[in-house]
């Protein structure tokens, strides 16, 4: 761990918190990415615009980082089929749990939502168990 790692993690956390606070303050909406993404699917309504801009910002933030800060080193060793199946399972889990990590873990806990605290404890525990099983048992 280096100072740059700590600073980039800290600044990323601050930006995520700031974006969530701005969205809640100005739009009275929680920054749950799964809900925001689902809101751009048909049938469209008057909230589609800000949702689309939010997602565009997420997609292009990596390019902006590279433009202003430097290269991004990413290494993915997992086959695309496994990533695709994993993505579908995460999508199913977010519908089943009534939200995603950003909605429950960042926004819900900040609002002291009991449902979000329980949901975050459950998905973080399952994530830890999954990592342990995949890396040390399988």
Residue 104: CB partners within 8 Å, gap ≥ 6?
Answer: 32, 97, 113, 115, 116, 119, 120, 123
pLDDT at 70 exceeding the cut of 70: yes
| pLDDT, mean over the chain | 87
pLDDT at 71 exceeding the cut of 90: no
pLDDT at 3 exceeding the cut of 80: no
Percent of the chain topping pLDDT 70: 99
Q: What is the C-alpha separation between 35 and 20, in angstroms, rounded?
A: 13
Percent of the chain topping pLDDT 90: 25
Whether the full predicted model's pTM is greater than 0.95, yes or no, is no
pLDDT value at residue 123: 87
Region of residue 28 (phi > 0: left; psi between -120 and 50: alpha; otherwise: beta): left
* Domain definitions of the chain by residue range: 77-138
pLDDT at 83 exceeding the cut of 70: yes
List pLDDT tens digits, range 84-126.
998 888 888 888 888 888 888 888 998 899 999 999 999 899 9
């Amino acid at each position: 761990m280096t100072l740059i790692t700590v600073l980039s993690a800290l600044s990323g956390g601050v930006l995520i918190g700031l974006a969530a606070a701005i969205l809640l303050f100005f739009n009275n909406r929680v920054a749950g990415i799964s809900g925001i993404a689902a809101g751009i699917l048909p049938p469209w309504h008057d909230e589609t615009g800000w949702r689309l801009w939010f997602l565009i910002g997420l997609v292009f933030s990596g390019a902006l980082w590279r433009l202003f800060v430097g290269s991004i080193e990413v290494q993915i060793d997992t086959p695309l089929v496994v990533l695709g199946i994993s993505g579908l399972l995460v999508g199913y889990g977010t519908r089943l749990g009534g939200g995603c990590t950003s909605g429950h873990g960042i926004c819900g806990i900040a609002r002291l939502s009991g449902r979000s605290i329980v949901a975050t404890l459950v998905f973080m525990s399952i994530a830890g168990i999954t990592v342990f099983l995949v890396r040390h048992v399988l």
